[in-house]
Amino acid sequence: MADSDLTSQATSAPGKVFLAGGYLVLDRAYTALVFGLDARIHVHIEPIRIESGVTLSEIIVRSPQFRGAVWEYGYRLVERDGGIGVTQLRASHDDRIDRNPFIETTLTYALTYISTLHPGTPISPSNISILASSAYYSTPGTAVPLMSSTTTPSTPFLNFDVPLSAAHKTGLGSSAALVTSFTAALLSHYLSKEEFDLDSEDGLRVLHNLAQAAHCAAQGKVGSGFDIASAVYGSCLYRRFSPSLLSSIPEPCKPSFAPKLRSLIEGDTWDTEIRKAAVQMPAGLRLVMCDVDCGSETPGMVKQVLKWREENSEEANKIWAELQVGNDALAAELTRLATEGTASGDGKYAKLRELFQGNRQLIRQMSAASGVPIEPPQQTALLDACSNVPGVIGGVVPGAGGYDAIVVLLEDNDEVITDLKKLLDGWKVEGETGDDDGVQIGKVGIIGVREEMVGVKREDPEAYKQWVTS
């Protein structure tokens, strides 16, 4: 695509929450039920206009909601098909480099892929802005008024006015949403619609594969990939790809990195299974995330569970098989309710309630057997209390579990939300929980998000004008 054809583009991708299958997703023999969330990471990209005859190889990335969040990168074509090498720049030798591995690695992978489609064509410079829905952070922020008004917020984005490193995340999958939206923006900006179309199945497949590769490289390990899958496709039933897939790619800038990356991204070797039709949300129901203020973290929970499973395979595999049955039944019942409707009366969600209780019981068995607090007693008490609120169907501690958050399925009306808020506002664990880990749950609050069936999508670049030009 010629420089003169480059125009501003904008994309967004959703966060995620597990409703079922947090540990099962690590094994290709099992599936996980993951919902997208309407908290989105937005990326706006525009060309840097330069005078004729001037060459500039620079991409400037900003996160304007945060103080000092600017990253400048130079890039060059590496010999022996090593792809595009990306180097973070600094104004002077004494300046400290504040690295962002997700931005830097995504740039490297996306620009390398783009260079294989346009061999010998220089990549034009660009300005990129990243904006996040406020639900990603528990750090308080302030609304920014319209340029023509002093009272009305122009966008859903808040000014946090702290360094990015000082912002407290709520754990909704910001890194996967960032990598997905960032990759989509770069491909949409530098490639023609014939080469990459975000609205096509083939475009989504290329985006998914490229974002998976970049995200795994940025986090230094091959994850299950469920968070990228939901960022691309939205809510889905997910079976992970084989980790060995990514072993065929050399390190960036090494010989043959570029052609091998393109071959992997466009090839048919990906064995991921993503079933969107298997997940639906019935009319009249919704998900609510509750953030739990807790001063304790349990590192290495996943490693501990996998070690327990390896050493106690018979017991573990029995629990996992029963959890898989429960997870499939939960997805099937949600879809049945969404397509067939419900009978009237108090018992219309009885099966859903039973499935939540049954799955939670199995998770508590796994907690006790592995010694890992997947659903610790403090969270059991909180979930039981929430489940007793009229209109609440059930809930779980999502993903790897622990003390950080819960997700609740409930009837979508103001009265139920009000009653749940009343419970949480005065929440405190009464009496003994039977646990001596000393962890005290503090304030519990509802995060302003709900389920999102749609994955990555194009946005109107004009909607970000105030943030991009400020």
* Closest CA relative to residue 231, chosen from 392, 43, 84: 43
pLDDT in tens, 306-351: 999 999 999 999 999 999 999 999 999 999 999 987 666 568 899 9
Give the mean model confidence (pLDDT) for residues 408-425.
95
**3-class SS string, 125-144:** CEEEEEEECHHHECCCCEEE
**pLDDT range class, residue 6, cuts 50, 70, 90:** confident
**pLDDT range class, residue 143, cuts 50, 70, 90:** confident
Fold category of 285-451 in CATH? Alpha-Beta Plaits (3.30.70)
Report, at the CATH architecture level, how domain 3-276+453-469 is classified: 2-Layer Sandwich (3.30)
**pLDDT range class, residue 98, cuts 50, 70, 90:** confident
Q: Is the pLDDT of residue 54 over 50?
A: yes
DSSP state of 464: G
pLDDT value at position 353? 96
Q: Is the pLDDT of residue 294 over 70?
A: no
CA distance 100 to 158: 21
Do residues 11 and 459 touch, judged by C-beta distance below 8 A?
A: yes
pLDDT value at position 22? 87
CA distance 209 to 276: 17
DSSP string, 344-403: SSGGGGHHHHHHHHHHHHHHHHHHHHHT--SS-HHHHHHHHHHHTSTTEEEEE--TT-SS
CA distance 62 to 306: 39
Task: Calculate ∠ Cα 176-182-183, nearest 5°.
Answer: 90
The residues spanned by each domain of the chain are 3-276+453-469, 285-451
Q: Is the pLDDT of residue 95 over 70?
A: no
pLDDT value at position 432? 44
Give the mean model confidence (pLDDT) for residues 347-364.
95
pLDDT value at position 152? 45
Q: Is the pLDDT of residue 436 over 90?
A: no
Q: Is the pLDDT of residue 245 over 50?
A: yes
Q: What percent of the chain has pLDDT over 90?
A: 72
Q: Is the pLDDT of residue 441 over 70?
A: no
Average pLDDT, the chain: 89
Looking at per-residue confidence, does 141 or 309 come out higher? 309
- Number of Cβ within a 10 Å radius of residue 51: 6
**pTM of this structure:** 0.92
pLDDT value at position 296? 46
SS3 of residue 76 by DSSP:
strand
pLDDT value at position 342? 62
pLDDT value at position 90? 77
pLDDT value at position 148? 53
